[in-house]
Every structure is written in structure tokens, then in C-alpha cells.
């Protein structure tokens, strides 16, 4: 008795101690929670302080950059004024002289005085002697004109050539214009053409220049193509671009094959194949539309030529560009309130059209893809397509062969666990038989999972027999016998219900699966028919492309039907 009391007393002490420890731990947890809260507050305060400090540093940097940009801009403008201040006056004078020449209201003496003064005040600027040439030519001073022309060519041969080619066209001096054009073509490098060349090509194409310029262009273009096509890299590059272009023209309706989209495991590949096959009709319309253009673009081209001329006489000279770029950058820094990164990003985007260089084949591809973006019109687009026809055909052949080689041979289906594949949907009977076999095996396996009620029946029988054997037909024996019988009855009944439910469930799934399978087979038939139909249009497009020749190109501005045909 005493041992039980001691044991009870000892346990009470331990329980009391545990409760005390638990209370202490609760207090500790509260303290830890309080510390965590304070830590979070401190962390947020430090983060806020750090952000404020970073904002301060960034603001200070911007402020200093702004002050420095304002100081530098003033100094740079002063340097520009000292070194190139007269260049701006020359450019303004050039514009006035051109307008005076157009109207014929400026006197010879005025032109002579102003242009000779320009020569003295702008000793290195190509435009100064070019204006002297123009003034001397107007007053028929051949000696001065030749001397000034030599000086202008020595200072900048390319700009001088382009300037006088455009001036002669503007004044209708066709023979002189043709000579300058010949010199202009000699300046061109087919590996590295300025973007303004596409406008010149456009002008020749649409008949803005004299007819004799056609033959000159033909000779140079054919020579360039021969030169560039000697290296496979140039042609392969254009073929790749055209192949990618063809891939963008296909279309796909996601609602056309909804069952295949849901149950075909390789649907993405199937979709890609039919999408590419659908591109031929759209491409055929695209190329025919290009070649059937009849709009007169000559007026727009003349405006572009005058814009090039205007840029030549108003743009900054190469000597000025480094200082002008620095002035512009500091101007943008001021505009962006000291944000140098944003200013530099804007500066990088301000690339002038003359700085964009491409090879001749790339220029043709650009004009064929997007004439407006490349600075051309639909007329030049048609010419570009005509010239590019050989590698466009090859690119189309490559494109067609690629998707044909990669087309899926089978449609892989997975429908509620049933996996199968069909080539074209003509094997519906075989597929349905395979489907029935799958679900028969599936049902058999599901029924096996239910197990047998034999064990419970055996247990019920044992209980009944033992109860009756031990207690005879007394109350307890009868109750035991009834319990055993109830176990047997319930086990058999439950098994029958489970079996019935499984059969019903599997039968329902099989019915739905069969409907889906038939639908997928029907869509597969339609898919293969559509693919074959769209794929057959590849030959129609190929005939259209093969029929394109440079002689098919035309424009209503002048008779340019034989623009690339030697005369």
C-alpha cells in the first residue's frame, strides 16, 4: 500500500514539473515570437533605409550627370561653332541655291559671289566646291567648273557623285546624269550597299531616270549577282530566310479537329504538318498579287530622290559627326534628367538610314519581304522577287521537302487508357475490334481486383457451426448461427453489388471511349484528305514561281516591262 502511494506521489511531482516546464516553454515561445516580430520590423526598416539610400545615390548621380551634361553641351557647341560653324551656313546656302536654280530667279553674279565666299570659309567641306560647280555651270564657266569639280571629288567622291547625279536628273540633263550614274555604280560594293541605293534602284525601275539607265543597271546587277552567287553562303542565307518566310504563311483552325487535338498524343506534330501544307495557297496569292501591281509610284520615288538630295546638303559632314554625336548624347541626358542609360538607349536607336549596310542579295530579300520597311514600293518588290526567283524556287522546294519528310505517318491515340495508332483512318473495323478486346481485358482485371467472398463465407460458416455445436439449439447457439448466416449473406450480396457496379462503370467508359475512337478515326480521314489536298497545291505554287521572269515585271509609270532584259 505504501509503495502505491509513493509511486503516485512521485508521478504527481513529475507531472507538476512537466506542467511548469510547459508553462516556461510557452513564455519562451511568446518571447521568441516577440523577437521575431521585432526582427521583421527591423528588417523592414533596414530595407526601407537601404532603398532610400539607393534612391539618394541614384538621384545624386543623375543630378551630377545632368550638371556635367549641361556643362559639356555648352562646351561642345562652342567647339562646333569654332570648328564647323560655317558648315551650317553652307548647308543653308546650298538649299537656297537649289531653290534658286529651280526657279531661275537668282542672278549669276549673286551665285558666283556667294559660292566663292563659301570656298574660302569652308576649306575642307565637299559641298562648298560642289556649289561652285553648280554656279559655274549655270553661267557657263567651264574652267572654274572643272577645277571646282575636281576639288569636290577630292574631298568626297561618293557624296559629290550622288549629288550631281540627282541634280542632273532634276534639271533634265540626261547625258550628264547617265555619266554620273555610271560613276555612282562604280562606287557601289555589292557586299556592302547603303540603304539609299534601294531608292535609286526604285527610280530606275519606275522610269524616273532616263531609259538608258536601265541597261546600265542591268549590267551592274547581273555582275553583282554573279559575284555574290560564287559563294554559297550568300545564297544559302537568302534561301534560309525565304524558307522561314514560307513557314509563317500557314494557318491552322484549332476547332477543325477537336478530338484529335485532345486525344492524339502527337497532335502538335500533326498540326505543324497541315499548317505548313496550307501555306501554298496563301503564298500563291501573295506572289501573284506582287506581280500584278499596276500602281504608278514614280511621283513618290521622285520625292524620295529629292529627300536624298536634301539630306546630302543638310546633314552633318563626317568631320562634324563625332562632336555632333556628343552634343546629341548630352542633350538626351538633359532630356532624361541625368539618366545616362536611358539617354544612351535612345542614342542607340537613332541610327540614320545611310548607316545601314547590307549586301545586294539581302537588299533584294528585304524589298521582297517588306518593301515599305526597306524604303521601296510594290514595284521594286516585284523586281526583287523576279531577280530572286531562282533561290525562291529552291527555298520552296526545301520547305516542301522538309515538312513532307517530317509528316507523321501515324496518328497516335490515347483514349481513357486505350492506346492505338492509325495511319489514315481506313482501319476502323480493326480498331474497334482492338478496342473491344482492350475493354474486355480491362473488365476482367477490374473484376479480379474485387477478390472473392470465399473467406467471409468460410468465417460465417465456422461461426454458425461452432455456435450450434457448442450451444446446440439454445438461444446462444441460434444467435450464433444467425450471425454466421448474416455474414455469409452480406459477403455474397456485397460482392454481387460491387461486381454489378464495376461492370456498369466499365461498360459506360467503353461506350464513351468507342464514340471518341470513331470520332478520332473520322477526323483522321478528314485530316489526311485535307493534307493531301493542300499539299497538292505546292505544285501550283511552284509553277507560279517558275513562271516568274524579270520580263514579267511592269509598272504604269513608264514602259519597264523589259527592265532586266538586255536591249
For residues 23 and 240, the model is more confident at 240
Per-residue pLDDT tens digits for 54-94: 777 767 676 677 667 667 666 655 554 545 555 556 666 66
User: The dihedral of CA 393, 394, 398, 399: what is its sign?
Assistant: negative
For 472, residues 6+ apart whose C-beta sits below 8 A from its C-beta are none
Query: Is 181 part of any domain?
Result: no
Per-residue pLDDT tens digits for 261-309: 899 999 999 988 998 999 999 899 988 888 776 655 556 666 667 666 6
The reported pLDDT for the residue numbered 535 is 93
Residue environment code for 87-118, b if the CB has 16+ CB neighbours within 10 A, otherwise e: beebbebbeebbebbeeeebeeeebbebbbeb
Domain of 385, in residue numbers: 231-301+377-566
Query: Is 182 part of any domain?
Result: no
Percent of the chain predicted with pLDDT > 90: 18
Per-residue pLDDT tens digits for 449-499: 776 666 666 666 676 666 666 666 666 766 766 776 677 777 777 777 877
The reported pLDDT for the residue numbered 215 is 85
The C-alpha cell at 333 is 541626358
Dihedral, CA of residue 69, residue 73, residue 74 and residue 79, to nearest 10: 140
Query: Is 172 part of any domain?
Result: no
Residue 313 has pLDDT above 60, yes or no: no
Per-residue pLDDT tens digits for 134-179: 777 777 778 888 888 898 899 889 888 988 888 888 878 889 899 9
The C-alpha cell at 337 is 534628367
Alpha helices in 229-266 (DSSP H): 232-247, 258-263
For residues 35 and 372, the model is more confident at 35
Query: Is 11 part of any domain?
Result: no
Mean pLDDT value of segment 184-190: 91
User: How far lies 185's CA from each of 182, 367, 368, 508, 537, in Å?
Assistant: 5, 19, 22, 79, 41
What is the Cα–Cα distance from 172 to 193, expressed in whole angstroms?
A: 26
Q: How many residues does the chain have?
A: 567
Query: Is 442 part of any domain?
Result: yes
Helix H or strand E encompassing 407 = none
Query: How does DSSP assign 367-397, residue by residue?
Result: HHH-HHHHT--HHHHHHHHHHHHHHHHHHHH
Candidates 122, 83, 63; CA nearest to 326 is: 83
Query: Is 356 part of any domain?
Result: no
For 128, residues 6+ apart whose C-beta sits below 8 A from its C-beta are 90, 115, 118, 119, 121, 122, 152
Residue 115 has pLDDT above 80, yes or no: no
Per DSSP, the three-state class of 245 is helix
> Grid cell 514579267 — which residue?
552
Mean of all residue pLDDT scores within the chain: 75
Query: Is 402 part of any domain?
Result: yes
The pairing of strands 411-415 and 418-422 is: antiparallel
Query: Is 107 part of any domain?
Result: no
Q: How many domains does the chain have?
A: 1
User: The dihedral of CA 37, 40, 42, 48: what is its sign?
Assistant: negative
Query: How does DSSP assign 316-369, residue by residue?
Result: PPTTTHHHHHHHHHHHHHHHTTT-HHHHHHHHHH---GGG-EE-HHHHHHHHHH
CA angle 466, 471, 476 (to 5 degrees): 100
Amino acid at each position: 500500500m505504501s509503495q502505491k502511494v509513493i509511486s503516485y506521489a512521485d508521478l504527481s511531482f513529475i507531472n507538476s514539473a512537466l506542467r511548469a516546464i510547459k508553462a516556461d516553454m510557452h513564455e519562451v515561445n511568446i518571447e521568441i515570437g516577440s523577437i521575431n516580430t521585432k526582427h521583421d520590423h527591423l528588417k523592414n526598416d533596414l530595407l526601407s533605409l537601404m532603398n532610400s539610400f539607393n534612391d539618394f545615390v541614384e538621384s545624386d548621380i543623375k543630378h551630377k550627370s545632368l550638371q556635367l551634361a549641361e556643362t559639356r553641351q555648352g562646351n561642345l557647341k562652342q567647339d562646333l561653332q569654332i570648328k564647323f560653324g560655317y558648315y551650317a551656313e553652307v548647308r543653308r546656302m546650298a538649299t537656297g541655291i537649289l531653290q534658286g536654280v529651280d526657279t531661275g530667279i537668282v542672278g549669276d553674279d549673286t551665285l558666283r559671289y556667294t559660292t566663292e565666299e563659301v570656298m574660302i570659309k569652308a576649306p575642307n567641306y565637299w559641298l562648298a566646291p560642289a556649289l561652285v560647280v553648280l554656279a559655274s555651270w549655270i553661267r557657263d564657266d567651264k574652267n572654274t567648273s572643272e577645277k571646282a569639280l575636281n576639288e569636290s571629288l577630292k574631298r568626297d567622291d561618293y557624296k559629290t557623285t550622288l549629288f550631281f547625279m540627282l541634280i542632273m536628273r532634276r534639271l533634265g540633263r540626261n547625258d550628264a546624269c547617265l555619266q554620273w550614274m555610271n560613276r555612282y555604280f562604280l562606287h557601289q560594293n555589292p557586299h556592302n550597299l547603303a540603304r539609299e541605293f534601294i531608292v535609286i534602284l526604285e527610280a530606275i525601275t519606275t522610269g524616273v531616270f532616263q531609259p538608258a539607265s536601265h541597261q546600265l543597271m542591268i549590267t551592274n546587277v547581273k555582275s553583282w549577282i554573279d559575284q555574290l552567287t560564287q559563294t554559297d553562303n550568300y545564297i544559302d542565307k537568302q534561301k534560309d530566310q525565304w524558307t522561314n518566310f514560307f513557314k509563317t504563311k500557314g494557318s491552322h483552325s484549332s476547332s477543325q479537329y477537336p478530338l484529335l487535338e485532345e486525344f492524339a498524343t502527337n497532335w502538335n506534330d500533326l498540326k505543324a504538318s497541315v499548317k505548313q501544307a496550307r501555306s501554298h495557297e496563301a503564298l500563291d496569292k501573295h506572289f501573284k498579287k506582287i506581280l500584278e501591281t499596276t500602281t504608278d509610284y514614280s511621283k513618290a520615288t521622285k520625292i524620295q530622290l529629292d529627300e536624298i538630295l536634301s539630306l546630302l546638303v543638310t546633314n552633318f559632314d563626317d568631320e562634324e559627326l563625332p562632336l555632333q554625336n556628343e552634343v546629341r548624347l548630352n542633350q538626351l541626358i538633359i532630356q532624361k534628367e541625368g539618366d545616362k542609360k536611358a539617354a544612351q538607349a535612345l542614342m542607340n536607336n537613332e541610327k540614320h538610314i545611310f548607316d545601314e549596310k547590307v549586301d545586294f542579295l539581302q537588299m533584294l530579300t528585304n524589298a521582297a519581304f517588306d518593301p515599305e520597311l526597306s524604303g521601296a514600293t510594290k514595284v521594286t518588290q516585284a523586281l526583287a522577287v523576279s531577280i530572286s526567283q531562282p533561290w525562291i524556287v529552291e527555298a520552296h522546294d526545301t520547305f516542301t521537302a522538309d515538312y513532307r519528310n517530317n509528316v507523321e505517318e501515324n496518328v497516335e491515340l490515347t483514349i481513357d487508357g486505350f492506346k492505338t495508332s492509325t495511319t489514315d483512318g481506313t482501319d476502323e473495323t480493326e480498331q474497334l475490334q482492338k478496342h473491344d478486346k482492350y475493354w474486355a481485358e480491362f473488365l476482367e482485371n477490374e473484376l479480379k481486383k474485387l477478390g472473392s467472398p470465399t473467406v467471409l463465407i468460410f468465417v460465417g460458416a465456422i461461426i454458425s457451426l461452432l455456435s450450434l455445436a457448442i450451444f446446440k439449439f439454445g438461444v446462444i447457439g441460434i444467435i450464433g448461427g444467425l450471425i454466421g448466416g448474416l455474414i455469409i449473406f452480406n459477403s455474397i450480396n456485397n460482392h454481387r453489388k460491387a461486381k454489378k457496379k464495376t461492370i456498369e462503370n466499365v461498360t459506360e467508359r467503353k461506350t464513351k471511349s468507342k464514340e471518341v475512337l470513331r470520332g478520332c478515326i473520322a477526323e483522321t480521314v478528314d485530316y489526311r484528305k485535307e493534307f493531301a489536298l493542300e499539299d497538292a497545291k505546292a505544285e501550283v505554287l511552284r509553277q507560279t514561281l517558275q513562271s516568274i521572269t524579270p520580263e514579267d515585271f511592269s509598272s504604269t509609270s513608264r514602259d519597264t516591262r523589259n527592265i532586266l532584259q538586255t536591249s
